Amino acid sequence: MIFPASLINFRRGVSGMNSFEYVVYTDGSCSGNPGPGGWAAIILLGEKEVELSGKAAATTNQRMELTAAVEALSHLPSGSAVRVYSDSAYLVNCFRQRWMDRWQKNGWRNSKGDAVVNRDLWLKLLELTGKRSVQWHKVKGHGDDQLNARVDRLARGAIRHDCPGAGTGESCPRPKNNQPSLKKNKAGGRIGILTGGGDCPGLNAVIRAVVKGAAHNYGLEVVGFNNGFMGLVENDAQVITDLAVSGILNRGGTILGTSNRDNPFDYKPQGSDYTNTGEDRSADALVNLDHWGITSLVVIGGDGSLLLAHRFSKLGVPIIGIPKTIDNDLPATDITFGFDSAVTTATEAIDKIHTTAESHHRVMVIEVMGRHAGWIALQAGMAGGGDIILIPELPFDLLCIADKIDERRNRGKKFSIIVVAEGAFPAGGEPLYEDRSGVRRLGGIGLLVSREIEKVIDMESRATVLGHLQRGGSPTSYDRVLATRFGVKAVELFSEKSFNRMVCLKGNSIGSVPLEEAVAGTKRVDPDSEQVRSAVAVGTSFGCRL
C-alpha cells in the first residue's frame, strides 16, 4: 500500500493505550431516492487495510454516507486517532462547522426549520466521535484520489451482492474466492469480551483467537470492552476488527486494557478502595451489553474477575470464562496461560542471580509473585536450581534455612539461592503486607528473609524482588498456543450456546467446566505431591522439616 504524502505526518492519537493511527475512506451510493443503496469503508492502519461494506433495500444516499462513517468508526477502538476522507461535503462540513451544536440547540431542526433527517445516525456519529480523535477531510468525488475511487466502487458493488445485513446497514464482509464455508452458529448475535484483573502475557493471543475464530468460522463480530469491567459499566467499547488483532500474538499486555479495581457491583469511578462503599452499577452493564447486541460475554480473568463474571451469570448474562493468571492458582484448570511466561522470566532471573551469588559467596534471596499459592516459586525454583524454596503452603523456619545453607557451605558451596513466594510466611506467623494509601498489598518477605538470615549465619545476603517483571513482556510459545486454544474453545462454546462455563486444560485436552467449579477456592501446591518430593530428592529445602 503506498500512502499519499499528506498522510505521512498523521496526528498521534488521544492519550491512552488504545491509541492507533487510522486512515478511513468512506462512501455511500444509492440508485433512486429511496432505492437500493450500498455503503463501504476502507480502513488503513500502517500497511494493513480492511474493507467493509453493506447494503440496504430502500434507502437514501445521505443515509448510506452516514452509515459508512458509523460502521467504520465503530470498528476502531475508543481513544484512537482517525482521519476520515469522504466525498460527502454535507458530512464533512457538518463536523468541521459544528452544525450539530446548532441542530441540538434548535431541537434538531436545521436552519430552514425542518426536522433534521437521519437523526439516529448523526447521534451515533456524535457518540463515536466523542470517544475518538477524528479529523474530517473532503475529497473530490470522481477525482483522481485512488482510494476514493476504490471505496466508491465498493459501495456500488455492495448494492449488487447479497449479505446477511441487507436492508439493515449491518456490516457485510466481502466474499473472497477462497473463503471457507461458515460453520453453523446456533447462538447468533455478537460476542463481548473483556480482560480483567492483573495483566499477563498471552492476553492479546486470546483476544486474537476469539476475534479470528469468531469471524473465520462463524461470521461473528466481537465487541471489546476497554479496561476490564470499567468499560462494561461506562460503555467504553468498540468492535474489534481483524485488523486490530493482526500482529498482536506475541505482544505482552492487552490491547483492551485491564483493571483490578473495578467492580460493577461496588463501583467507584476512581476505582474501588475495597471498602464496599461504591454504587451497584450492574444494571448499566446490562444496558450496555444490550446496546451492542451482545449475546454472550467472554471474561478473561483470574479468581476476582471470574467471580464477577459468575455474578453476572446469575443476572442472566450468558458468560464464557477464560482462565488467566501468572499465579496458576485456579482450581478447575491444570494450567492458566501467563504462568509459563512468568516462570520463564523468573527462571532467567534466577540464572543471572546465580552467577553473582557464586562470585561473591552470598546468600541471594529472590522474591517472586504468588499470593496464596507457590506455583511460580516451585516451578522457577526447581528450573533455576534454587537451593531453598519458600511457598505459602509450607510455612518456613529460619533455623531450617540456616541449616541448609550451612550444610552447603560444609560441602564447599559458598553461596546459596533462596526463591521465596511473596505470600510465604514463617511458621506461627503470617504473610507480610505493605500498607499503601489504605490498600494492603503483599510485599517485603524477600527482604525480611535476607536480613534475618544474615543475623543467624555469618554470610552476606541480598534480596531481589522480581515483581511486575513477571507479568510483562512477550508470552512464551507455550502460552501463545494455550491462549489460542482457549480462545478458539470459547468461540466454540458460544456457537453451541454452552454458557456459564470456563474453558480449561486437563492433561493435554482443552475442555470446559461450570463457572461454579471455576471459582470454587484456590489451587495450591500439595506438599505431598510428586513434584515437591522430586525437588526434595535432589536436595532442595523448603525451609521446614518435610
Q: Is 397 a catalytic residue?
A: no
> Is residue 175 exposed (0-12), middle (13-18) or buried (19+ Cβ within 10 Å)?
exposed
Q: Is 263 in the site for ligand F6P (CB under 6 A)?
A: no
Asked if residue 161 lies in contact with residue 175, where contact means CB atoms within 8 angstroms, the answer is yes
# chain residues binding ligand F6P, by CB under 6 A? 12
When asked if residue 325 is in the footprint of ligand F6P (CB under 6 A), the reply is yes
Cα-based distances in Å from 69 to 122, 221, 224, 387: 10, 18, 19, 62
Contact 325, 302 (CB under 8 A): yes
Please report, as residue ranges, which positions from 126 to 185 form the binding site for ligand F6P (by CB under 6 A).
Answer: none
Binding mask 280-319 for ligand F6P (x = CB under 6 A): ----------------------x-----------------
Cα–Cα–Cα angle for 250, 10, 155, rounded to 5 degrees: 85
Residue 402 or residue 447: which is nearer to ligand F6P going by CB?
A: 447
What does the block give as the cell for 156?
456500488
Catalytic site residue from 152, 327, 387, 479: 327
CB of 256 to ligand F6P, least distance (A): 16
Question: Rounded to 5, what percent of the chain is helix, strand, coil?
Answer: 35, 20, 40
Nearest residue (CB) to ligand F6P, 92 versus 368 = 368
Residue 492's SS3 state is helix
Stretch of 113-121, 248-256, 322-330, 495-503 contacting ligand F6P, by CB under 6 A: 322-330
Closest separation between CB of residue 471 and ligand F6P, Å?
6
- 366 or 442, CB closer to ligand F6P? 442
Q: How far is the CB of 342 from ligand F6P (least distance, A)?
A: 8
CA distance 173 to 219: 9
Site string for ligand F6P, 182-201 (x = CB under 6 A): ----------------x---
Q: Which of these, 391, 394, 397, 415, lies nearest to 405 by C-alpha position?
A: 415
Least CB distance from residue 433 to ligand F6P, whole Å? 10
| Side-chain-facing half-sphere of 294: CA atoms under 13 Å | 29
Q: Measured at CB, which residue is nearest to ligand F6P?
A: 369
Let me know: does 374 contact 393? Beta carbons within 8 Å: yes
For residue 461, state whether it binds ligand F6P (rule: CB under 6 A).
no
Q: Which stretch binds ligand F6P (CB under 6 A): 42-50, 235-243, 323-331, 506-514?
A: 323-331
Buried/exposed 315-349: b ≥16 CB within 10 Å, e otherwise: eebbbbbbbbbbbbbbbbbebbbbbbbbbbbbbeb
CA gap 250, 468 in Å, rounded: 18
Residue 534 CB, shortest distance to ligand F6P, in Å, is: 24
Q: How far apart are CA 31 and CA 60, in angstroms?
A: 8
Instruction: Give 253-272 as a 3 state SS string.
Output: CCCCCCCCCCCCCCECCCCC
Q: What is the dihedral of CA 361, 367, 368, 372, to 10 degrees?
A: 140
How far apart, in Å, are the Cα atoms of 314 and each of 235, 420, 498, 515?
21, 39, 15, 11
* Range 345-384, binding ligand F6P (CB under 6 A): 369-371
What is the closest distance, in whole angstroms, from the C-beta atom of residue 258 to ligand F6P in the complex? 9
With CB under 6 A as the contact rule, the residue among 262, 327, 393, 479 that binds ligand F6P is: 327
Q: Smaller CB distance to ligand F6P: residue 141 or 467?
A: 467
- Quote the cell numbers at residue 395: 510455612
Q: Binding to ligand F6P (CB under 6 A): which residues in 498-537?
A: none
Nearest CB to ligand F6P, comparing residues 80 and 204: 204
> Minimum distance from CB of 162 to ligand F6P (Å)?
48
H helical segments located in 97-202: 99-105, 119-130, 146-160
Encoded amino acid at 360, one letter: H
CB of 426 to ligand F6P, least distance (A): 19
Question: How near is the Cβ of 370 to ligand F6P at its closest, in Å?
Answer: 6
Contact string 430-449 vs ligand F6P (x = CB under 6 A) = ------------x-------
Q: Which is nearer to ligand F6P, 340 or 422 (CB)?
A: 422
Which CB, 192 or 323, lies closer to ligand F6P? 323
Closer to ligand F6P at the Cβ: 353 or 369?
A: 369
Q: Which of 88, 175, 178 is nearest to 138 (CA)?
A: 88
Does 260 interact with ligand F6P (rule: CB under 6 A)?
yes
* Interface pattern 405-434 for ligand F6P (x via CB under 6 A): -----------------x------------
Residues that bind ligand F6P (CB under 6 A): 198, 260, 302, 325-327, 369-371, 422, 442, 471
Query: Mind telling me the catalytic residues?
Result: 327
